[in-house]
Each structure stands twice: as structure tokens, then as C-alpha cells.
Amino acid sequence: MPTRVYLDWNATTPLRPEARAAMAAAFDLVGNPSSVHAEGREARRLVEEARAELAMAVGAVPRNVVFTSTGTEANALALSPGLRGPSGGPVERLLVSAVEHASVLAGGRFPGATIGLVQVTRSGVVDLEHLKAQLNNGPPALVSVMAANNETGALQPVADVAGIVHEAGGLLHVDAIQALGKIPFDIRDVGTDLATFSAHKIGGPKGIGALVVAEGIVGLEPVLRGGGQELNRRAGTENVAGIAGFGAAVKAALQTLREDAEHMATLRNRLENGIREIADATIFSEEVERLPNTVLFTAPALKAETAVIGFDLEGVAVSSGSACSSGKVQPSHVLSAMGFDPVVSQGAVRLSLGWSTEPDDINRALEAWRKLGNSLLKH
């Protein structure tokens, strides 16, 4: 029986051997990282080594890395009213792009009345003129824009956004969860004030995330209160094994980032060409810079839920561009924000590649798509 093909890397990734080894070593430690005895200090050492790895990878200072349970929690922690930078007053409202992850659209601790949406173009990129208008129409704002969209792969002009936001006296949060390990990302180059990350998108374990804060940013309000862990920014005993796996995954990902990106881009382009040869397909956001591993497409009369099941039956794991809630498929909010009709967005299928994706995996996916096309796209 042939092995299955996994093309849903934007949802989660396989655990890297380096992360597995680091976690196995951490599981053998008995100490609490807050304890002062030798066992506690050894656990603390693993936490701080991982903190330093992530900080070095994204151009941050280690003390400004806050470990959380997930990327979702990291986003909730970042979206904190009252944040202020070195030369500005506290932010009083939140502006988020219309294509953000649900954990950002939820608004963190900002009251609903203080949350505004920033429009995007047909290509899924933030409308900078609309952002400027929103910033000029109210008090200082925290703006949240993702580095790379999880559905389309579209890269946002975060450095341009940072300049606009800072000129208006605001602060910028970047959800970089899909970007880390796929494209270079440095908070100094981007100019962001806060950035969030998640281990399981880069070959680390599930259940560990991080918020990185730039120097001089103050006013962060903890989501969880209690002990003084993470310099009083996130209470609770640290997940030592998860953090160790996160650090090892970051180190491994950065060592081969360029080669992996080139490898994935080559296979992605071949995949897109093959999809088009088989059917009259639309590739979303193809006219702008995208992640090297992401393909979101549709074809006339295609139903995403049927296609995902069909791929699965052929041994290929892919996902839908639609969000499922209580078993009911809803149109993708990303594609809706880009101006596509719900009928179109309900037919969107996402294939996302990873560092170990092979040419034969692309062959298998295209073979499955050919069979599906012959059966699903008949009129």
C-alpha cells in the first residue's frame, strides 16, 4: 500500500528530529525552572537556551521573548490596550486587516467598539491608503497585520505598514506564525513592535507559542496572572519540553531556510502548472509575493469539501480554503475580504508543502487532481 502524501503543512508540520531529541532530553529533567536548586537550574537552562535561539532568529533581545501555550494565546497577549512605545502615548484602539487569523480578529482585550477592519485588495494585500485613512480618523492605534496569510500565502508589506503606523503615532503587531522558517523575518528589518510565533508550524511541538516584544515597548497586560513567570508577563510553570523543542526547531529551520524555500518554490510552481493543465483553475494571490510553499486554488463547479475528501481517498492530505464550524462549511473570510463571491470561495482548496516534500508527492497530488477533475468538474 503506497504511503500517504501530506500537503497540509500550513495547518501543522511533522516534528523535526532535532525537536524530538531536545524534548526527549527535557522529559528526563525533574526540576521546575523556577526552583533555585541544581535540578531547577538545569530546567531553566533549557528554557533560556530556547529563548535565545528564537530571539537570535528574529532579531530580538532574549528577555523580550515571552513563551505562551499557543500562537493563539500569543496573539491574545499581544493585543493589549494601553501598550505604548518609547515616544508615544498608550494605544486606545485596534485596527486589524480583514484577512487576519481568527485569533487576531477576536481582538484580544480590546472592546469591540474600539476594533476596526482594514480593507485588502483583490490580491489579498493590505490597502495602504485605507490604513492611512483609518489611522487618521481617531486616537493612536495598535495595528495588527500578518506577515503571510495562512490561506493564500500572500505576503503583506509589513515594513511599509510599520512606517505608516509609526508616523501616525501607533504601534504594529505582526502575526508571523506562517512566515517563520519559510522566509527571512527579522523584527528590526520589518520595524514591528510585537510579533507572534508558533512552534508546530516549523517542525516543533504543538502547544507552545511565543510573543516577541521590541525594545522600549511597555504596558503589556498578562492574560494569565498568578506566579511571576516570564518576567510577570505570563503566569504558569513553563512547558520545558515544549520550549526546548521550539528552540531546536527554530535552529534547524534557520540553518536550511534558503535551500528549503527554493526547494518548495520549485515544487509549488510545478504543482500550479499541473493544476492548470488539468482544469481551468484560478490560483489566488498569484500576482503578488507569496510564501514559497502555498497554493490556494479553485476551478469552476468545484466544491471544496468534496475535493478534500476526494484527495484524502486518493491518499493525499490537503485542506479547504473554507473555515468549518459545527460541521457547516462557511465561505472563507479571507477570500470574502478579497472580494470573491461566496460560491467561488467555497470551492477553494489549499495545498501547502514542506521541507521534506518530494517531486513524487507532487506527481501523486496531480494524479489525484486529474481523477477528481474528471469526476467533479463534469457539467
Summarised one tens digit per residue, pLDDT across range 88-147 is 789 999 999 999 999 999 999 999 999 999 999 999 999 999 999 999 999 999 999 999
pLDDT of residue 330: 72
> What nine digits make up the cell of 172?
504594529
Looking at residue 89, its pLDDT comes to 85
Q: What is the percent of the chain where pLDDT is above 90?
A: 87
How many CA atoms lie less than 13 Å away from 191 in the CB half-sphere? 14
**325 pLDDT exceeds 60?**
no
Each residue's pLDDT tens digit, 185-218: 999 999 999 999 999 999 999 999 999 999 999 9
Q: pLDDT (tens digit, 9 = 90+) per residue, 269-318?
A: 999 999 999 999 999 999 999 999 999 999 998 999 999 999 999 999 99
Q: In terms of pLDDT, which residue wins out, 324 or 17?
A: 17
pLDDT in the model for residue 378: 61
pTM of the model: 0.95
Check whether 321 has a pLDDT greater than 70.
Answer: no
The kind and range of the H/E element at 115 are: strand 115-118
Concatenating the DSSP letter of every residue in 13-61 gives -PPPHHHHHHHHHHHT----TT--SHHHHHHHHHHHHHHHHHHHHHT--
Backbone φ and ψ of 180, nearest 5°: -60, 130
> For a pLDDT cut of 70, what percent of the chain falls above it?
97
Q: Give residue 326's pLDDT.
A: 39
Asked whether the predicted pLDDT for residue 76 surpasses 80, the reply is: yes
Asked if 95 and 134 count as a contact pair (C-beta separation under 8 A), the reply is: yes
- The residues with which 283 forms a beta bridge, in sequence order, are 297
Mean pLDDT calculated for residue range 4-14? 97
Confidence at 232, pLDDT banded by 50, 70, 90: confident
- Cα 369 versus chain centre, distance: 27
Q: Using 50, 70 and 90 to split pLDDT, how confident is the model at 374?
A: confident
What per-residue confidence (pLDDT) applies to 247? 98
pLDDT bucket at 322, cuts 50 / 70 / 90: low
Q: 155, 67, 73: which is closest to 106 by C-alpha?
A: 73
Could you please state the CATH topology (level 3) that the domain comprising 17-255 is classified under.
Aspartate Aminotransferase; domain 2 (3.40.640)
Residue spans per domain, the chain: 5-14+257-376, 17-255
Closest CA to 214 of 58, 95, 69, 73: 58
Mean pLDDT of the chain: 94
Query: Helix axis angle, 38-58 relative to 240-255, nearest 10°?
Result: 30
pLDDT of residue 88: 79
CA 181 to the chain's CA centroid? 11
CA distances from 133 to 161, 164, 165 (A): 13, 11, 11
Annotated active-site positions, please?
324
Using alpha carbons, list the distances in angstroms from residue 69 to 17, 207, 274: 21, 5, 39
Is the model's pLDDT at 329 over the cut of 70? no
Which of 3.90.226.10, 3.40.50.2020, 3.40.350.10, 3.90.1150.10 is the CATH number of 5-14+257-376?
3.90.1150.10
The three cell numbers of residue 328 are 457547516
Q: What is the pLDDT of residues 158-189, one digit of tens each?
A: 999 999 999 999 999 999 999 999 999 999 99
- Whether 328 has a pLDDT exceeding 90, the answer reads no
